[in-house]
Amino acid sequence: MKIFVLMLIPLFTALIGFVSSMKYSDARDFWERFEFWHKKIKSEITFSQRSLLEIFNGSEDLYKNDKFLSVAKDYLQKGKTDENLNFLSKNEKEFIYKYFQNLGTMDRDSQLNYLNSLETELNKYVSDAGQKDKKYRPLFVKMGFLLGLVVFIMII
């Protein structure tokens, strides 16, 4: 019986590793949504010319629990966000601030040029977040499991 209980230790520590790695998946999700919305905003500016709030409000039902959507609406309405973005680095947060600071403040051509100019940096964040998630999530789980295994062996 004792052995079975002790065997739960590696599973528990693996779970801790998984939870600790969630910031990487949160960051990946966030940047993927950012990239999606960036393309959508560009397309809307080019073709429909709807206002940003119309674009975001009209998509609320379709994209529930989309963190980027909440961040975008916060920036448009308050100039800052109350969302918890702890999974992002300082540089990433600065980029988001820079992105929204000039969004909607220019004529159509300048706005599209501005968004295009930020694309390289955005693509880098998307790719980095994807790579980090791919690299660290399994690593954290494995490390957690191994740590639990060591504890298990030591106790035995």
Total residues found in the chain within this entry: 156
Separation CA 66–CA 60 (nearest Å): 9
State yes or no: residue 72 binds another protein (CB under 8 A): no
Separation CA 46–CA 108 (nearest Å): 7
Separation CA 135–CA 137 (nearest Å): 6
CB of 116 to another protein, least distance (A): 14
CB of 149 to another protein, least distance (A): 54
CB of 81 to another protein, least distance (A): 14
- What distances in angstroms separate CA 98 from CA 37, 72, 103, 119, 122, one per listed residue? 16, 12, 9, 13, 12
Are 44 and 55 spatial neighbours (Cβ–Cβ below 8 Å)? yes
**Burial class of residue 46 (count of CB atoms within 10 Å of its CB; 0-12, 13-18, 19+):** exposed
Choose one: 63-71, 105-113, 129-137, 140-148; the region binding another protein (CB under 8 A): 105-113
Residue of 11, 53, 153, 155 that binds another protein (CB under 8 A): 53
Choose one: 28-36, 42-50, 83-91, 140-148; the region binding another protein (CB under 8 A): 42-50
Separation CA 134–CA 31 (nearest Å): 14
CB of 76 to another protein, least distance (A): 5
Choose one: 9-17, 88-96, 99-107, 120-128; the region binding another protein (CB under 8 A): 99-107
Choose one: 3-11, 25-33, 46-54, 86-94; the region binding another protein (CB under 8 A): 46-54
Nearer to another protein among residue 84 and residue 117 (C-beta): 117
**Contact residues for another protein, defined by CB under 8 A:** 45, 49-54, 76, 103-111
